[in-house]
Chain A
Amino acid sequence: MLVRYLLATIVAGLFAGILLTPAMYVRTVPLILHAEEYENAGGHEHSHDAAAAAVPHEHEEEASPALPFGRLGNTLLINLVAGAGFALMTGAAALFLGRRITLQNGIYWGLAGFFIFNLAPAFSLAPELPAMPAADLAARQAWWLVTVVLSAGGVYLIVLRNEIWARIAGVLLIVAPHVYGAPQAQNLNSAVPATLASEFAVSTLATNLFFWIVLGTALGWAIQQYAQSELDA
């Protein structure tokens, strides 16, 4: 087991997770909070069930089983954990492929991760705000997962293989889930203003691009700094 390599990837992931948190609080969290106002207002307005309408948002928060670190604390915790998770997967991919993530090429690993995990799924399944109409959750999650896996295969075939068939197959893999189509909501009526939704879509892509560039660069730095000897052995 390459323990230093694993620890280096985790350190890079935690670092990127820390930096993602203020970026989210500047760009995306205010929009989520804003949309939740419509979520509550919308629920009240459209509900014909008096009992359901009478449930205020505060009650919902009291009953919420979220971990007890407050909204910012929970988000920071989850960002740290998520950063480590994405870092471990990126580090694993590099190990499988026999490629070294360095300070110089780290940004490209980050851009690949951004494309695979954020941009490709967002083509057909735009990032949603609370209270936006959406199709069945499980169906969207399944589509998201399939798209991520296919896009990863596509990026590998296009970037790391030189054969022409591989390039073509790579493009097909990336395009396939969008031709098939993401699950879409039946009814597009939304309580959330369209400008808020479009601002949110752009903001999430911007913050995630920032996260992945930091993560890729930090991975390269940490692996070079702490795990070089293991990889040269």
Chain B
Amino acid sequence: MAAARTSTTISLPLASRLTTAVFSLMLGAFIVYGVGLSHSETMHDTAHDTRHSYGFPCH
């Protein structure tokens, strides 16, 4: 258990983590696109301060 705690690799084979990894990446990318890059006016106006503060190209 102590070894597992300090381990920095995952023993789980790639096949068992691939679905989660792909899903998580797609969902995360979709969210970041919506927050930072979407041209929708509602998204732009709502996310305005975050976009500027985060350094996303805005306006």
Contact = CB atoms under 8 A, between A and B. Distances in A.
B4 interface: yes
Given A28-B53, A140-B57, A66 B46 contact: yes
A232 B26 CA distance: 24
Interface in A84-125: 84-96, 98-100, 102, 104-105, 117-118, 121-122, 125
B23 A1 contact: yes
Interface residues of B, number: 46
Given A100-B9, A130-B59, A82 B24 contact: no
Q: For this complex, into which size category does the number of interface residues on chain A fall?
A: 35 or more
A205 to B, nearest CB: 8
Say whether chain A's binding surface is mostly helix, strand, loop, or mixed: helix
Contact of A95 (B11, B21, B27, B37): B21
B28 A89 contact: yes
A216 to B, nearest CB: 13
Contacts of A96: 17-18, 21, 25
A186 B12 CA distance: 52
A110 to B, nearest CB: 15
Say whether chain B's binding surface is mostly helix, strand, loop, or mixed: helix
Contact of B32 (A6, A77, A85, A95): A85
Contacts of B32: 82, 85-86, 89
Given A28-B52, A137-B59, A208-B54, A91 B24 contact: yes
Given A102-B5, A231-B12, 18 more contacts: A28-B52, A29-B49, A65-B45, A66-B48, A71-B49, A75-B49, A82-B36, A85-B34, A88-B25, A89-B28, A95-B10, A95-B24, A96-B17, A128-B58, A134-B59, A204-B53, A232-B12, A233-B12
5 contacts: A78-B35, A81-B34, A84-B31, A92-B24, A127-B53
